[in-house]
Amino acid sequence: MPHTLSLHSLGIGLATRNRRGDIIEVFFPVVLRAPSPVFAAALAAACAYKEGNAVLSLSTSVVPELLASAPQDILSSLQALAGAQVDLTVMFIATDAAPACIAEVYLKLHLLSHRLCKPHSLNLTGAFGLLQNLAWTNKGAIDLADLPARQLEARLQGELLEVMSVDKFPKMSNYIVPKGVRIAHTARVRLGAYLGEGTTIMHEGFVNFNAGTEGPAMVEGRISAGVMIGSGSDLGGGCSTMGTLSGGGTEVISVGRDCLIGANAGIGFPLGDRCIVEAGLYVTAGTKVLLLDKDNQVVGTRKARELAGKSDLLFRRNSVTGAVECKANKTAIALNEELHTHN
């Protein structure tokens, strides 16, 4: 093994296995993007890593040997892992290809939630199909095939095994809590969400994986998979953004900076900066929109997708005719700085 090794990323973690010995999820307390070539080579030698994207085991007995070459910011985590009584799981990613195993998916989800990679910057093709539905319990992740026996074991010990959800994705906060965010209901933010500093997720807010916010934002609605929200934007209560998958897998939905999507409203096309969608109005990509001039006179008709990415627009529904209208937006929202400083 050479003295240096260039990698896309790596993670050192603790894997949960089912009773057949298969990995079902991985918690990575050590996550590195473009790791130090010297540390990467030392870890590779300890794991007998050869090439490509690979998941390997690492004995905790060799962890102290890695401390000399480890970056300063992971020393405390490595020292804690050195005392573990189980073998560690190491995921090496040499190239950003479509993930081939569960450990690879989990490392990429960690990279997103640690803000080391932004949504759409990682290849997650097929990730959803690799993951399996698990019972997420007060005792951790449990394979559904193992669940009845585990529930019985708990009862025989006078305990209750609480199942909080049955899903492919866990909640982010059981793995990562990024600096400077507020999450009122942690079950509504999945691992793999990217939350910029200053983001507030209220009780009805939801953030899917490979999606999130650039910076300060108020989220009281739904951020679907693949959707990114610009800094300073406000998603009103019960509003929705149509996910990339829901939109047919071709159109990437996004919201620009300083936008407002009103309560119970929604979009199915990308918004530019400083746009407003009035409460209760859902505008899909194919919605026909009447264009108004400064005197509120109709000057044309467009499908909403033709206005994708354009800034300073106000979308509203005419309360008399029911037509969807669009005109220049002369106002812009401003978030309360005190509410979005989460130290």
* Residues 147 and 73 placed together within one structural domain of the fold: no
Q: Is residue 201 part of a domain?
A: yes
Domain range spanning residue 69?
A: 9-125
In order along its 343 residues, the chain shows pLDDT tens digits of: 568 999 999 999 999 999 999 999 999 999 999 999 999 999 999 999 999 999 999 999 999 999 999 999 999 999 999 888 888 999 999 999 999 999 999 999 999 999 999 999 999 999 999 999 999 999 999 999 999 999 999 999 999 999 999 999 999 999 999 999 999 999 999 999 999 999 999 999 999 999 999 999 999 999 999 999 999 999 999 999 987 654 445 678 999 999 999 999 999 999 999 999 999 999 999 999 999 988 889 999 999 999 999 999 999 999 999 999 999 876 655 545 544 566 6
> If you write DSSP's letter for every residue of 14-82 in order, what string do you get?
EEEE-TTS-EEEEEEEEEEES--HHHHHHHHHHHT--SSSEEEEE-GGGHHHHGGGS-GGGHHHHHHHH
* Residues 152 and 191 placed together within one structural domain of the fold: no
* Residues 219 and 294 placed together within one structural domain of the fold: yes
Q: Is residue 130 part of a domain?
A: no
Q: Is residue 71 part of a domain?
A: yes
Task: Find the CATH number of the domain harbouring 154.
Answer: 3.30.60.70
Task: Find the CATH number of the domain harbouring 34.
Answer: 3.30.70.2010
The catalytic position among 104, 220, 278, 325 is 220
* Residues 120 and 144 placed together within one structural domain of the fold: no
Q: Do the beta carbons of residue 176 and residue 194 sit within 8 Å? A: no
The question of whether 338 is a catalytic residue gets the answer no
Q: Domain total for the chain? A: 3
Report the 10 Å Cβ neighbour count for 183.
24
Amino acid at 241: T
Report the 10 Å Cβ neighbour count for 125.
10
Select from 100, 152, 157 the least CA-distant residue to 127.
100
Q: Is residue 35 part of a domain?
A: yes
pTM of the model: 0.92
How far is Cα 329 from Cα 121, in angstroms, rounded to an integer? Answer: 32
- Write out 167-200 in H/E/C secondary structure: ECCCEHHHCCCCCCCEECCHHHEECCEEECCCEE
* Residues 58 and 90 placed together within one structural domain of the fold: yes
* Residues 149 and 177 placed together within one structural domain of the fold: no
